[in-house]
Structure 1
Amino acid sequence: MVLAGPEVTTAKGAAARARPRGRRHTAVRLALMAVPVAFFGVFFGYPVAAIVGRGLRDGGRWQLGRAVETLTDPGVLDVLWFTAWQAAASTVLTLAIALPGAYVFARFDFPGKEILRAVVVVPFVLPTVVVGSAFLALLGRGGMLDDLWGFRLDTTVWAILLAHVFFNYAVVVRTVGGLWCQLDPRQEEAARVLGASRFAAWRRVTLPALAPSVGAAALMVFLFTFTSFGAVQILGGPRYATLEVEIYRQTAQLLDLPTAAVLTLVQFAAVAAVLALHAWSVRRRESALALVDPARTARRPQGPGQWALLAGVLAVVAVLILLPLGVLIERSLAAPGGHGFTFYRALQSAAGSGGTFLVAPLEAVWNSLQYAAAATAIALVIGVLAAAALTRRAGRLLRGFDALLMLPLGTSAVTVGFGFLIALDEPPLDLRSSWLLVPLAQALVGVPFVVRTMLPVLRAVDERLREAAAVLGAPPLRAWREVDLPLVRRALLVAAGFAFAVSLGEFGATVFIARPDTPTLPVAVARFLGRAGALNYGQAMALSTILMLLCAGALLALERFAPRVTGAPADRPGGF
């Protein structure tokens, strides 16, 4: 149709108004990006570049020949291959086991649900050395399987894969289930009314809506298992090594910084490629969704099939999650003279640590809580700004930003920790004596969780609601407060809980920068495990149990007091 007269004037006027509005939106996104970009540039990019430069530069010249030599080494190629395929296998296995759990926690209502939902997150924050020890007690020589059936899985890849599922089960349940519980079930019911089978309705309606969350969960699981360290080192023995294990060996044991730097760059490049692919695929799957109060979507199981699914998920949680945690608690109470609180009482004084600590080991609890609270505040500010900038599709300047935010999860914690010591030791960034050094390092790991938790929900908010608020004269801040905040408050608290939990359990970078007089719980556990003797081992298990209970308590409180979504778009006719 050809426009003429007043219609042409109206079209031109609309286009003229759209251009400054688009430029204004782009300017707002760039302003939101400024703080996260500066944060990651100073506290991630600069330290990593400093340690890599220290390893690959000698006398002012780059040792590029060392990179070729390292990458053609057959042993290194074997490490690269094992790292990639075990990460892929761990991701597939975790999704297969955890997706039914995500559905059960999102759609079913049953006694003890809140407690179990908090408990399944606990393994994610436990130090890997502790989890490795617990799995050895189950799967290794003299463990439960060995005692009962003479069957062992230690030093096999199956032990590594099971430990990875143990760690990452909560990632899928919380990331996918957090969105699943807010999807309006009436959309799937409408498809069934129109003749679709239950599976066809789920595949055509629910699965496309969940695809961004499933992709985000798979990405995080792959990154965590690709950079796996403690579980592989303890359960795999000398036969298996990931890139992270090899970087640690080259750095701490062989003092070969050039080889470690090359491997760090390889790991960095591989993670960057995966993140770029994920960012591209997510943009192709995004769509606005109708979100409702999670309390309206959960109901008691109906029929034998749903009850069997609930029973199966509870059995998986009992065997995969609760059994190793039970072993951990039992070992913290198994004193030489019989079960009791001997190891816990020994934590109250520095003398009981046998010279391992300058202060009472129990002070590590207070230190960890302070550091985690500060790290959570930093991660929320940086993560929410970044997620808000990424909410709408943007131009080329923002296309790699999403992937950039995830890079700390795929970079060697050894590299980051050493980089902090090397790079942040001169004015104006001389932070070696500052207590902020630890929460800054922990926040680097917390920010990706905030972004990945907030982004699917923010992008699911119907854009027309924001536009309606703008038409009614609401400025951007008020529109966000009135439209977005009521829908994302629960996701914001879930993000805060995740950031707090991972900060409590962060070990890789913290072990290099925590001061001797202010140890964190994971650092204290590692120090006890590094010393021989039943008392040291028992105190390590006692501190690990305290860490587990702190995490479970925080997450349980979050589940209980998190506000429910009100005024969701689906409350109005047509889902708008």
Structure 2
Amino acid sequence: MARAVARGARAVTAGRVGGLALRVVPAAFILILFIWPLGALVRRAIDSGSDVGVGELLRRTHALDLLGFTLWQAAASTVLALVVAAPMVWLVARVRIPGSAVLMVIVTVPFVLPTVVVGVAFRALLDGPLEFAHVGSGLWPILLAHAFLNVAVVARVVGAAWRSLDPRQAEAAQTLGAGRIRAFLTVVAPRLMPAVGAAAALVFLFCSTSFGVIVVLGNGEIRTLETEIYTQAIGYFRIPEAVALSMVQIVVVVAALLLTRVFSDPAGSRAGARPRETRFRPHGRQWLPVLASVAWTVVVLVGPIAVLALRSVRPGADGAWTLDGYRSLTESVNGVTPLDTLRYSLGTAALAMAIALVVGLLAAVAMHRSHGVWAATGNVVATIPLGVSAVTLGFGYLIVLASLPADVASSGLVIPCVQALIAIPVVVRIALPALSSVPGRLREAAATLGAGPVRVFLTVDLPLIGRALCVAGGFAFVMALGEFGATSFLARANTTTLPVLIGSALNRPGADNLATAMAASMLLVAVTTLAVVVIEALRPRTGALL
């Protein structure tokens, strides 16, 4: 009897320690890698404001004009993304055709491509086949690139919500005499509005913090809060001005995050459910809109990448075919070749993936076991790093690292940890619904047989959510591989990632540098596409698109 009581006491103690660890590890990671840099920015803003005044700093940098344009271009990009994605949403939500997995790969790849690669692809497109339009740089290329990047958000969020709707209400409306269009507008569309709002809020958030696309396609003429922070901090080394702009950017991000919370995620709460199949197999004339939507998807999403691939072997105005861009990947610059940079990027992305999986899974388990205020707070905290400006975060790291010992500031873990921080929210969003889908009776049965909390998780939960974790790891890997904003502040000669190298090559004049940038971009396209193919192959077939 005494031994049983002792075992029970040890189990309770172990459960409490484990529960504490679940919360402490993610909280410490967020505190050190997220709160500390932002806190350093706030402190520097207060110190700077005591001498000059924050109002004067904002006036010097034309902060209100930058804020207005940043919000305007983000709103315009969001509207354009919704319009461009509409045929794709219908295709993935309502139509069942051969090659659906390939379609999802095509839709997903642009979203996880490094933004600087997307900028290079649109530069190749607009300076090549679309040169007659004379829009090689400026506002329109930026809006188009933002739409290209974010159609996957609209297609997955709205498509998942549409696929989960019960079609009987629309069928009833048609039975009562409503045509298909009227039934959609009066029955289906209102029920999709929360998902459309959620997708639009996310796209607006991503576009308001866009950096790589604007740097590549803005040609120095387009300035947003994000690019101006980098220019003031790195270009002119005006730290007080950069800090003041960072404070404005943080306010924008927080407001955008609050906006995303206004809309519910209809698909997210049912991610583990298996809804009734509502897609139709086209036949006869039904193939006309289907083929038109497929053609639209291929032209919009594959076209820029195909042009980039062509221009990487035909970069000159004379139209000569050459592999000089790819040969330059083996040529040393400051003792490091682009291929060495690729190997370093793959290594840091893999390490960031491992960190994001561990921290994100611990956070997801803690949130799954929490209720009420704790669960809501954890959800908000876990989501914030996804939306906070990478440039603002990188600037905060620059300030923090300057105050640390040299061996700490130059540690090889700095860049992987920064990349992991940005990927953790995605891991949480994938792991949390997967944990919720595990039947509670299986955990109870294992506990009844004497398994402790850790063993229950290892023997029950982990095998059932394994595929979801593989998907989360894949997304974490490609997001870490393509991170550009924060890494551009931290990269040194021996810690340069491939996206940063591409950005540097574009800033140098000459056709050779452009060819190198396009060839390196194609390497990232190949790696990213392969990762997305693996993700789609491993994604649990639960009917949800997220």
TM-score bracket, shorter-length normalisation: 0.7 to 0.9
User: What is the CA-CA distance between 1:127 and the residue it aligns to?
Assistant: 3.9
2:32 to 14, 29, 42: 42
* Cross-structure match for 2:12: none
Correspondence 1:35-184 to 2 at 5 A:
35-57=25-47, 62-63=49-50, 66-71=53-58, 75-139=62-126, 143-147=128-132, 151-154=133-136, 156-177=138-159, 183=164
Correspondence 1:269-418 to 2 at 5 A:
269-279=251-261, 281-282=263-264, 291-292=273-274, 300-302=281-283, 304-305=285-286, 307-334=287-314, 338-350=320-332, 356-391=333-368, 394-418=371-395
User: What is the CA-CA distance between 1:440 and the residue it aligns to?
Assistant: 0.6
Structure 1 CA distance for aligned equivalents of residues 402 and 257 of structure 2: 31
* Cross-structure match for 1:444: 421
* Cross-structure match for 2:5: none
User: What is the CA-CA distance between 1:26 and the residue it aligns to?
Assistant: 12
Partner-residue secondary structure (3-state), 1:340: coil
Partner-residue secondary structure (3-state), 2:338: coil
Letter of the structure 1 residue corresponding to residue 171 of structure 2: R
Q: Is the 1:414–1:508 Cα contact (8 Å) retained in structure 2?
A: yes
* Cross-structure match for 2:250: 268
* Cross-structure match for 1:573: none
1:434 to 411, 418, 423: 411
Letter of the structure 2 residue corresponding to residue 513 of structure 1: L
Structure 2: give runs of 5+ residues left out of the alignment. Answer: 1-14
Q: Is the 1:458–1:484 Cα contact (8 Å) retained in structure 2?
A: yes
* Cross-structure match for 1:555: 532
What per-residue deviation string (whole Å, max 9, x for no partner) do you get for residues 354-413 of structure 1?
A: xx3412221222212111111112222222333344447833345343333333344333
Percent of pairs with identical residues: 42
Structure 1: give runs of 5+ residues left out of the alignment. Answer: 1-24, 351-355, 569-576
Q: Is the 1:56–1:63 Cα contact (8 Å) retained in structure 2?
A: yes
Letter of the structure 2 residue corresponding to residue 521 of structure 1: L
Residues 241 and 456 of structure 1, relative CA distance in 2, 3 Å threshold: farther
Residues 112 and 342 of structure 1, relative CA distance in 2, 3 Å threshold: farther
* Cross-structure match for 2:6: none
* Cross-structure match for 1:572: none
* Cross-structure match for 1:248: 230
User: What is the CA-CA distance between 1:551 and the residue it aligns to?
Assistant: 0.6
Which moves more between the two structures, 250-259 or 307-316? 307-316
Structure 2 CA distance for aligned equivalents of residues 481 and 372 of structure 1: 26
* Cross-structure match for 1:13: none
Residues 395 and 71 of structure 1, relative CA distance in 2, 3 Å threshold: farther
Residues 235 and 380 of structure 1, relative CA distance in 2, 3 Å threshold: same
Correspondence 1:503-522 to 2 at 5 A:
503-522=480-499
Structure 2 CA distance for aligned equivalents of residues 539 and 481 of structure 1: 47
User: What is the CA-CA distance between 1:177 and the residue it aligns to?
Assistant: 4.5
| Alignment size in residue pairs | 523
User: What is the CA-CA distance between 1:543 and the residue it aligns to?
Assistant: 0.8
Q: Is the 1:188–1:202 Cα contact (8 Å) retained in structure 2?
A: no
What per-residue deviation string (whole Å, max 9, x for no partner) do you get for residues 462-491 of structure 1?
A: 9xx537854895676677678876775554
* Cross-structure match for 1:523: 500
Structure 2 CA distance for aligned equivalents of residues 274 and 335 of structure 1: 40
User: What is the CA-CA distance between 1:442 and the residue it aligns to?
Assistant: 0.7
Letter of the structure 1 residue corresponding to residue 291 of structure 2: A
Q: Is the 1:373–1:500 Cα contact (8 Å) retained in structure 2?
A: yes
User: What is the CA-CA distance between 1:297 and the residue it aligns to?
Assistant: 6.3
What is the root-mean-square deviation of aligned Cα atoms in Å?
4.0
* Cross-structure match for 2:471: 494
Q: Is the 1:212–1:286 Cα contact (8 Å) retained in structure 2?
A: no
* Cross-structure match for 2:167: 188
Letter of the structure 2 residue corresponding to residue 332 of structure 1: S
Residues 95 and 450 of structure 1, relative CA distance in 2, 3 Å threshold: farther
Using the size of structure 1 for normalisation, the TM-score is 0.77
Structure 1 CA distance for aligned equivalents of residues 151 and 290 of structure 2: 16
Structure 1 CA distance for aligned equivalents of residues 353 and 219 of structure 2: 35
